[in-house]
Amino acid sequence: MSRIKEQAMGKVWLVTGASRGLGREITRAALDAGQTVVATARSAEAVRDAFVDDPDRLHVLALDVTDAEAARAVVAEALERFGAIDVLVNNAGYAELGFFETFTDAAVRRQFEVNLFGAMSVARAVVPHMRGRRSGLIVTISSVSGVVSNGGGSVYSASKFALEGWMEGFAQELAPLGVRSLLVEPGMLRTEFMDGKSASFGGIQISDYAEAVAQHRAFVDQANGAQPGDPKALAARIVALASQDETPSRLVFGDDARRWAGAKVDQLRQDIARSADQS
């Protein structure tokens, strides 16, 4: 790709889960910054509906991240069209919100298939290109729930804890090869994440949990649409960080996320100190 063409396109982004929520906002922020975006979701039509103006720098493709072959095909098409992928945003995901025993084994496995193995499949398709260029940034959308787990979120947190464990180590493997990593840990964002299209609840009825499950569902219903975090502000922050030569390894976004993560760090320090006292 010529230098003139590269300057005209800016960076080339590949964003998964771009039809809704934070993925849509990241796509919009990157386009507004003059970048070129390959925006993907399970339904290409849903992405087009979200970007009716369809600017020249937006290229829409269907991608189910659990389909590794499809991920390789999307990456190949993006490289054929644009010559590079500078930024990968592994954003696609959803939440199983409920008590662990109320989920079937299939539901738990599906949570990991999308949130963890889907991100791995897309990264496997993109990273060889980035390694070859000795350049690139992988933005992994995690959650403060990848740092702190609470009742009613154990399955979702398990997938995000695993995502963070994988990416934290993978980032260290890639760093000497010029590929950077940014783990994003938002608190509660005002997106559709907690509605019925993005969140799922366990269907197994267990009387011991009935009252607690009802309270948890009421909390989710009340919080949906009233979350404190601004997804547009987070998207703008991610795009700004991607333009910098130095990228932090983590971005903990939102007062709630910083408060919960800080409390977890404090608790860990206390647990470590107690462990030393008992040795």
pLDDT in tens, 69-125: 999 999 999 999 999 999 999 999 998 989 999 999 999 999 999 999 999 999 999
User: Has residue 270 got a pLDDT over 90?
Assistant: yes
Q: Which CATH superfamily is domain 3-272 in?
A: NAD(P)-binding Rossmann-like Domain (3.40.50.720)
Give the DSSP letter string of 47-91. HHHH-TT--TTEEEEE--TT-HHHHHHHHHHHHHHHS---EEEE-
Contact status, residue 36 vs residue 7, Cβ threshold 8 Å:
no
Residue 140 DSSP label: E
For the chain, helix (H) and strand (E) counts, in that order, are 10, 9
How far is 230 from 224, CA to CA, in rounded Å? Answer: 13
* φ, ψ at 263 (rounded to 5°): -65, -35
Contact status, residue 234 vs residue 139, Cβ threshold 8 Å:
no
Mean pLDDT in residue range 27-38: 96
What is the largest distance, in Å, between two alpha-carbon atoms of the chain?
Answer: 65
How far is 63 from 119, CA to CA, in rounded Å? Answer: 12
pLDDT in tens, 170-185: 999 999 999 999 999 9
Structure tokens at 112: 């990991």
- pLDDT-based confidence at residue 54 (cuts at 50, 70, 90): low
User: Has residue 39 got a pLDDT over 90?
Assistant: yes
Give the pLDDT confidence score for residue 83 in this predicted structure. Answer: 97
- 156 an active-site residue? yes
Structure tokens at 47: 């992405």
| Residue partners of 67: CB distance under 8 A and separation at least 6 | 121
Give the active site residue among 11, 19, 145, 160: 160
Matching residue, tokens 């009716």: 52
pLDDT in tens, 224-233: 655 656 899 9
Give the 3-state secondary structure of residue 102: helix
Give the pLDDT confidence score for residue 4 in this predicted structure. Answer: 38
How far is 92 from 70, CA to CA, in rounded Å? Answer: 14
Give the pLDDT confidence score for residue 6 in this predicted structure. Answer: 45
How far is 181 from 87, CA to CA, in rounded Å? Answer: 10
- 264 an active-site residue? no
User: Has residue 195 got a pLDDT over 70?
Assistant: no
Give the active site residue among 94, 156, 159, 200: 156
Structure tokens at 88: 């990968």
| Residue partners of 226: CB distance under 8 A and separation at least 6 | 190
Give the pLDDT confidence score for residue 264 in this predicted structure. Answer: 97
Q: What is the pTM of this model?
A: 0.90
Q: What is the mean pLDDT of the chain?
A: 90
Give the active site residue among 11, 19, 94, 142: 142
Mean pLDDT in residue range 252-274: 95
